[in-house]
Amino acid sequence: MSTNTVLVNPNKVLWEKGDFTKIAESMRNSGTDLVNQLGITKGMKVLDLGCGDGTTAIPEARLGADVLGVDIASNLVAAGNKRAKEEGLLNCTFQEGNAANLYELSAKGFDLVVSIFGAMFSSNPFDVAKEMVRVTRPGGRIVMGNWIPGDPTLVAQILKISSAYTPPPPEGFVSPMLWGVESHVVDRFTAAGIAKENISFIKDSFVFQIACSPAEFVNIFRTYYGPTMNAFDAAEKNGKATELQHELEELFKRENKSGSNDVTFIPANFLRVTVVC
Ligand SMILES: C[S@@+](CC[C@H](N)C(=O)[O-])C[C@H]1O[C@@H](n2cnc3c(N)ncnc32)[C@H](O)[C@@H]1O
């Protein structure tokens, strides 16, 4: 390797490629609803991992928690800090970091660690579990939201459709979706020292809600969502972009429960994991 070579985390490249804030706009209501169920009180120290631009971090801060949002993508960290500033939330800060290596954070510093569709994307799931446990105080909690592989609803189906158009992942690749399988979650947290009986699961639902048609929402994914942008890049090389667009439009239309073509309202299932440390 040349001495000039700088290793960049491929996940950082993926999530900085587009502009996830455009998708996050459709997730705000469910983010707030979820946060309201977490028993957050004033002064609680909360770490929001893979926080994006703060879909859950901002509502946590509105409840009076001291919130640190950590994300691998610098553009999303900047967007989160801008949102917090605009709301005057002095108790909410965003900084860059990797969920698999939180070296900048001291042990046992947080009452609650939240990661909603965030840390699941790291390629080192056992390190992620270890780090989340390390930074949570004894008696504190970790709450994760993880998409479920093979589920019939939106996100798992986007992945399934997209994977048919993209080259197979490199050998040794661990699918992020395994965080949506209870046995894998148990393996990862027990390896980090958590007793199995302190890990619990709920199947929950998160709604994507936006004032545009399902087809327009597909275009937002195509233009701004890193994983979908990559799928279209690959499909274009094989002359199959129109086919991919059609399959996604059919999926989004089928899943739209708004009863109108001008509004998209798509509930998607996820696994909510709670760990008591
Ligand atoms: C689907 S978005 C979810 C963002 C946010 N939690 C939300 O619900 O809107 C996934 C986020 O995880 C972040 N991410 C991916 N891998 C990460 C890692 N290894 N460490 C920290 N953040 C990561 C991405 O940059 C992105 O912001």
Q: What pLDDT, in 10s, does the model give residues 205-250? A: 999 999 999 999 999 999 999 999 999 999 999 999 999 999 999 9
pLDDT of residue 7: 72
pLDDT of residue 169: 87
**pLDDT of the residue at 5:** 58
Indicate whether 2 pLDDT > 70: no
C-beta separation of 51 from 94 below 8 A: yes
pLDDT averaged over the chain?
A: 96
Per-residue confidence band for 10, with pLDDT thresholds at 50, 70 and 90: confident
Q: Point out the ligand 1 atom lying closest to the alpha carbon of residue 55.
A: 9
Ligand 1 midpoint to CA 11 (Å): 9
Q: Specify the CATH architecture of the domain 10-276.
A: 3-Layer(aba) Sandwich (3.40)
Q: What is the average pLDDT across 16-25?
A: 96
Per residue, the 3-state secondary structure of 65-86, as one string, reads CEEEEEECCHHHHHHHHHHHHH
Encode pLDDT of 162-188 as tens digits.
Answer: 999 998 888 888 999 999 999 999 999
Q: Return the H-helix or E-strand segment holding 115.
A: strand 110-116
pLDDT at res. 9: 87
- What confidence score (pLDDT) does residue 3 get? 47
pLDDT at 104 over 60: yes
Q: Residues 242-254: pLDDT tens digits?
A: 999 999 999 999 9
Tell me if 125 CB under 6 Å of ligand 1: no
CB of 118 closer than 6 angstroms to any ligand 1 atom: yes
pLDDT band at 6 (very low <50, low <70, confident <90, very high): low
Q: Residue 150 has what DSSP assignment?
A: T
14 Cα–ligand 1 center, Å: 10
Residue 265: the pLDDT is: 98
How far apart are the CA of 259 and the centre of ligand 1, in A?
Answer: 31
What is the per-residue pLDDT for 82?
98
Percentage of the chain modeled with pLDDT above 70 = 98
Can you give the pTM of this predicted structure? 0.96
158 lines ligand 1 (CB under 6 A): no
**What CA–CA distance (Å, rounded) separates 94 from 84?**
9
- Digit-coded pLDDT (tens) for 35-67: 999 999 999 999 999 999 999 999 999 999 999
Domain boundaries, the chain: 10-276
H-only helix segments in the chain = 10-17, 21-24, 28-36, 57-62, 74-87, 125-135, 154-163, 182-191, 214-224, 226-237, 241-255
Question: At residue 94, does pLDDT exceed 80?
Answer: yes
